[in-house]
Structure 1
Amino acid sequence: MKITSAIIIALASAAKAHYTFPGFIHDGLTEEDWTYVRKTTNFGRTDHGPVYNVSDPQLRCYELKPGSNGAGIMSVKAGDEVGFRVDGTVTHPGPLQFYMAKAPEGETAETFNGDGDVWFKIFHDDATWRTGEWWPSWSNYGRDNVTVTIPPCLAEGDYLLRVEHIAIHNAAHENGAQFYIGCAQLHVSGEGTKSFPGVSIPGLYSATDPGILFDYQGSATSYVTPGPEVISC
């Protein structure tokens, strides 16, 4: 096949449209990529491609080999604002969500693989429907960093912090939604005492959930963010 300039431009555009979350942000500082964030399977790929299958074990932290992959543990406090640098920008419409999971006794954030009903949601952003428009929008669009507040009531311990952006521009058919994911390794300290029941990843989503199977340019007038409710202190 002859490679034309149009094909090269199209491939380059596709690569730029995908993104990763490699750099952890704390105290306004962005750490070096993958220092506290587990390397994702798309780390070495030029296209930064996402996860499509909601039943794929990689939906959890998008790791080629489960484990820390050399990442360390960042010490934070309950109530701190933390976040992730976006390699690229968030270039697709869809909800941004953050989940956490506490490492069980005998494990650390480096050794914990996130198995079981351990993931609880600490944030999601809601869709906005503007007058005269027939599709939703989200405040995360175009961002080069995304942030969240660690729940101030959280009990001390080691945790995984999972960021997830669900791109829904091709979600009108099953397995069309794109999941962009990253997991940071944290030790959370503070005066909090609360623990929360969780869900399993994968297992929390179905391919036909309304917020995952969704016609972005169809006749919908509302959007239901997939997953559990956000926990409350």
Structure 2
Amino acid sequence: MRSAVTAIALSTLAATAAAHATFQDLWVAGKDEESTCARLPANNNPVTNVGSNDIRCNVGGTKAAASKCTVAAGDIVTVEMHQQPGDRDCSREALGGNHFGPVMAYLSKVPDAASADGSSSWFKIFELGYDASTKTWGNDLLNKNCGKQDVKIPSDIAPGDYLLRAETIALHTASQPGGAQFYMTCYQITVTGGGSANPPGVKFPGAYSANDPGIKVDIWGNGFSEYKIPGPAVYQG
């Protein structure tokens, strides 16, 4: 049975190799900022090497976006993912082809969001993994919500410039070494208000290992019932 399921998974991969995606747009407190502050990658292909600098903000992610988006501490931002650039058609899945996995968001405090290269520390502000009771993944909910995921900016963090890193990991071939697919985009934001908190963080690369249980994992196996999201714990504020 397990081999049959694995065969189905590999067949699905071959049939849906183009079903990749990109976090493209950002909403701030309900206002659509489109992709004005997003460092869009050159294409919708995933990053697969957790030891590469591309794991920070994707391939080409050091190139500045057109502007910065202003966000008040404590506000809700909404990251938005779609398969093709500029395609916000809700009739198509945000991330198709059974690319199941978690959704996460990180912040990195930087002197200037337009010039930061992502080498500074990152702290996690959101994560959504796997609900075994409903067999639902974080990025299943992206697909159900037209690619959108709400993320709250902590109300106590210090004002200033940040990179906001939105990420999902597709785990459909993650039982193989290097099989996990990482999709991420960095948004340039300026946080206003807030407090004085500067949470400790992790570095990319370094935060993930290729053998982490949430990265090298067989989600198709008969014994799969729970999932450990990689990276640090979510900052609680």
TM-score class, shorter: 0.7 to 0.9
Matches within 5 A, 1:27-42: 27-33=29-35, 35-42=36-43
Unaligned runs of at least 5 residues, structure 2: 1-12, 84-93
Aligned equivalents of 2:210, 2:195: Cα separation in 1: 36
1:149-208 C-alpha deviation (Å, 9 max, x unpaired): 001111111000000101111101111001010100010011321111111111111100
Aligned residues: 208
Aligned equivalents of 1:65, 1:216: Cα separation in 2: 29
Name the SS for the 1:79 alignment partner. coil
Aligned to 2:95: 90
Superposition CA RMSD, Å: 1.9
Q: CA deviation at 1:120?
A: 0.5
Aligned to 2:175: 172
Amino acid at match of 1:165: T
Aligned to 2:212: 209
Aligned to 2:72: 77
Q: CA deviation at 1:139?
A: 4.1
Matches within 5 A, 1:176-215: 176-215=179-218
Is the contact made by 2:62 and 2:118 (CA closer than 8 Å) also made in structure 1?
A: no
Unaligned runs of at least 5 residues, structure 1: 1-9, 43-47
Matches within 5 A, 1:111-190: 111-116=115-120, 118-130=121-133, 136-141=135-140, 142=143, 143=145, 144-190=147-193
Aligned equivalents of 2:205, 2:194: Cα separation in 1: 31
Percent identical: 40
TM-score under structure 1 length normalisation: 0.83
Amino acid at match of 2:71: V
Is the contact made by 2:57 and 2:186 (CA closer than 8 Å) also made in structure 1?
A: yes
Is the contact made by 2:26 and 2:80 (CA closer than 8 Å) also made in structure 1?
A: yes
1:48-92 C-alpha deviation (Å, 9 max, x unpaired): 211111111111001326231x42111110111102221231332
Aligned equivalents of 1:221, 1:21: Cα separation in 2: 28
Aligned to 1:5: none
Name the SS for the 2:137 alignment partner. coil
